[in-house]
Amino acid sequence: MPEMNTSSLPDLIFTILFFFMIVTTMREVTLKVKFTVPSGTELEKLEKKSAVSFIYVGPPTDQLRATMGSGTRIQLNDRFAEPAEIMDFVAQERASMSDQAAQQISLKVDQKTKMGIITDIKQVLRKSWALKINYSASKRN
């Protein structure tokens, strides 16, 4: 019985490795706030995720609570921000997109967050002409 030829096996393995390296996306943002997304029944899946910018709202994580306090914080990318800084964030995100008209803002908000800070965020988004807003939620059982 002749032996099996395995000379092309390394090429195959490297091809698969490169495929997964290209296709896989890593988390770009380190979460500094913790949030439990609310649940809902009428949910839609986002189609074009490359055009979505995320704003995280909630209390700081346990590691940051000693320095930041326990109040509600806004996180834009990897830093804490005030509502007034959202306009610059939206402009930067819009400038980095190829299809600027498709920009959407997704709010990932802790379910126990007061509505006042959400209203402040929405007012700033309105001033910066970011009018496509959605709220992240999980499917209710």
- Domain-embedded: residue 84: yes
User: Which pLDDT score is estimated for 22?
Assistant: 87
- Domain-embedded: residue 19: no
Number of independent structural domains in the chain: 1
- Domain-embedded: residue 63: yes
Place of tokens 């092309």: 8
- Domain-embedded: residue 100: yes
pLDDT in tens, 64-116: 888 888 889 999 988 899 999 999 999 998 998 888 888 899 999 998 899 99
Residue 68 phi, psi dihedral angles, 5° rounding? -100, -10
pLDDT in tens, 14-72: 999 999 888 887 667 778 888 788 888 888 888 777 788 899 999 998 888 888 888 89
pTM: 0.75
Q: How many residues are there in the chain?
A: 141
- Domain-embedded: residue 9: no
Place of tokens 């649940």: 39
- Domain-embedded: residue 8: no
Task: Look up residue 90 and give its amino acid.
Answer: V
User: Which pLDDT score is estimated for 3?
Assistant: 84
Q: How far apart are CA 27 and CA 12, in angstroms?
A: 28
Q: Could you list the residue range(s) of the whole structural domain that residue 77 is in?
A: 28-139
- Domain-embedded: residue 121: yes
- Domain-embedded: residue 118: yes
Q: Rounded mean pLDDT of the chain?
A: 87
User: Which pLDDT score is estimated for 26?
Assistant: 67
